[in-house]
Amino acid sequence: MGVRNDELIIALPKGKLGEDALDIFQKIGLPAWEIQEDSRKLSYCFNDQGIKYLICRPTDIPTYVEYGAADIGIVGKDTLEESRADVFEICDLGYGYCKFVVAIPKDVLEKIEKKHGAFNLKYFTNTRVATKFPRITKNFFNSKGIQVEVLKLHGNVELAPAVGLSEMIVDLVSTGRTLKENNLVAVEEISEITARLIANRVSYRIKNSWIQEIVTKCNQIVDLRGKQ
Amino acid sequence: MQGANNKLQIPDGFKDFLPEEAYQKRLLEEKWIKLFKSWSYKEIVSSSFEFYDTLTMNVGVNTLSLLKTIDRTGHILALRPDMTSPIARLVATRMKDQLFPQRLFYLANVFRYENEIQKGRHREFFQAGIELIGPKGPQVDGEIIALAVEALKTAGLQDFQFGLGHVGLTKGLLKQLGHEKGMENEIKEALSHKNLVKLSSLLKLSRQSLDKEIFNLLTTQGDLDTMVQKLKGIVQEPGFAADVKEMEALVRTLKAYGVEDKVFMDLSILRDFNYYTGIVFEGYSENLGYPVCGGGRYDDLLGTFGFNCPATGFAIGIERVLEALNKEGSPQVFQVDYFIYGSDETKAIEEARRLRQKGYTVELAMHNLSQGEAEQYALKKGIKNILLLK
pLDDT reported for residue A2: 40
Residues contacting B187, CB < 8 A, separation 6+: B174, B179, B199, B202, B203
Residue of B nearest to A69 (CA): B289
Per-residue pLDDT averaged across A98-105, rounded? 94
**Binding-site residues on chain A for chain B (CB distance < 8 A):** 1-5, 66-69, 86, 88-92, 196, 199-206, 208, 212, 215
CA–CA dist B295, A69 (Å, integer): 26
CA–CA dist A159, A182 (Å, integer): 8
Question: What's at A1, amino acid-wise?
Answer: M
Measure CB to CB from residue A68 to each of B118, B161, B289 and give the nearest one. Answer: B289
Output the CA–CA distances (angstroms, integers) from residue A61 to A218, A227, B107, B148, in the order listed: 19, 30, 36, 33
CB A26 within 8 A of CB A32: yes
CA dihedral B319, B324, B325, B329 (to 10 degrees): 140
Beta bridge partners of A62: none
Query: What is the C-alpha end-to-end distance of chain B, expressed in Å?
Result: 58
- pLDDT tens for each residue of B35-94: 999 999 999 999 999 999 999 988 778 888 899 999 999 999 999 999 999 999 999 999
- pLDDT tens for each residue of B321-373: 999 998 888 778 899 999 999 989 999 999 999 999 999 999 999 888 899 99
- pLDDT tens for each residue of A48-91: 889 999 999 999 999 999 999 999 999 999 999 999 888 999 99
Nearest CA-CA distance, residue A110 and chain B, Å: 37
CB A96 within 8 A of CB A116: no
Residue of A nearest to B262 (CA): A206
Kindly report the backbone phi and psi dihedral angles of residue A105, in degrees, each rounded to the nearest multiple of 5, phi listed first.
-60, 145
Angle, helices B138-155/B238-257, rounded to nearest 10 degrees:
40
Q: Lowest-confidence range among A217-226, B88-97, B179-188?
A: B179-188
Query: Which chain B residues contact residue A68 at CB under 8 A?
Result: 288-290
Across the interface, whether the CB atoms of A67 and B289 are under 8 A apart is answered: yes
How many CB atoms are closer than 10 A to CB B257?
Answer: 16
Residue of A nearest to B189 (CA): A88
CA nearest to B115, candidates B65, B69, B67, B78? B65
- Among residues of chain A, what percentage have pLDDT more than 70? 96
Beta bridge partners of A166: none
CB B280 within 8 A of CB B165: yes
The CB-based long-range contact list for A148-156 (8 Å cut-off, 24+ gap) reads A148/A124
Q: How many residues does chain B have?
A: 390
Query: Which chain A residues contact residue B161 at CB under 8 A?
Result: 205-206
Residue of B nearest to A84 (CA): B116
Per-residue pLDDT averaged across B182-196, rounded? 81
Across the interface, whether the CB atoms of B287 and A66 are under 8 A apart is answered: no
Binning pLDDT at 50, 70 and 90, where does residue B100 land? very high
Query: Which chain A residues contact residue B121 at CB under 8 A?
Result: none
- pLDDT tens for each residue of B210-256: 677 888 888 888 999 999 999 988 877 777 888 999 999 999 999 99
Per-residue pLDDT averaged across B179-183, rounded? 71
Q: Lowest-confidence range among B113-122, B140-149, B292-301?
A: B113-122
Is it the case that residue A3 has pLDDT exceeding 50?
no
Query: Which chain B residues contact residue A91 at CB under 8 A?
Result: 196-197
CB B42 within 8 A of CB B103: yes
Mean pLDDT of chain A: 89
CA nearest to B297, candidates B140, B169, B191? B140
Is it the case that residue A227 has pLDDT exceeding 80?
no
Beta bridge partners of A152: A131
Query: Which chain A residues contact residue B289 at CB under 8 A?
Result: 1, 3, 66-69, 200-203
The CB-based long-range contact list for B237-243 (8 Å cut-off, 24+ gap) reads B237/B172, B237/B175, B237/B176, B239/B172, B240/B168, B240/B169, B240/B171, B240/B172, B240/B173, B243/B166, B243/B168, B243/B169, B243/B172
> In chain B, where does DSSP find H-type helix?
19-38, 52-55, 84-94, 138-155, 167-177, 184-192, 196-203, 209-219, 224-234, 238-257, 301-304, 318-328, 345-357, 371-381
**DSSP 8-state assignment for residue A84:** T
Nearest CA-CA distance, residue B70 and chain A, Å: 31
Question: What's at B70, amino acid-wise?
Answer: I
pLDDT reported for residue A52: 92
Angle, helices A208-227/A16-27, rounded to nearest 10 degrees:
100
Per-residue pLDDT averaged across B29-39, rounded? 98
Mean pLDDT of chain B: 89
CA–CA dist B254, B240 (Å, integer): 21
The pTM assigned to this predicted structure is 0.85
Query: Which chain B residues contact residue A196 at CB under 8 A?
Result: 197
Strands A98-105 and A168-173: antiparallel
pLDDT reported for residue B198: 83
Query: What is the C-alpha end-to-end distance of chain A, expressed in Å?
Result: 40
CA–CA dist A65, A87 (Å, integer): 7
Name the more confident of B1 and A6.
A6
How many CB atoms are closer than 10 A to CB B348?
Answer: 20
Binning pLDDT at 50, 70 and 90, where does residue B184 land? confident
Residues contacting B371, CB < 8 A, separation 6+: B388
Residue of A nearest to B119 (CA): A67
Name the more confident of B208 and B142.
B142
How many CB atoms are closer than 10 A to CB A176?
Answer: 15
Nearest CA-CA distance, residue A71 and chain B, Å: 9
Across the interface, whether the CB atoms of B289 and A91 are under 8 A apart is answered: no
Across the interface, whether the CB atoms of B289 and A2 are under 8 A apart is answered: no
pLDDT reported for residue B217: 87
Query: Which chain A residues contact residue B287 at CB under 8 A?
Result: 1-3
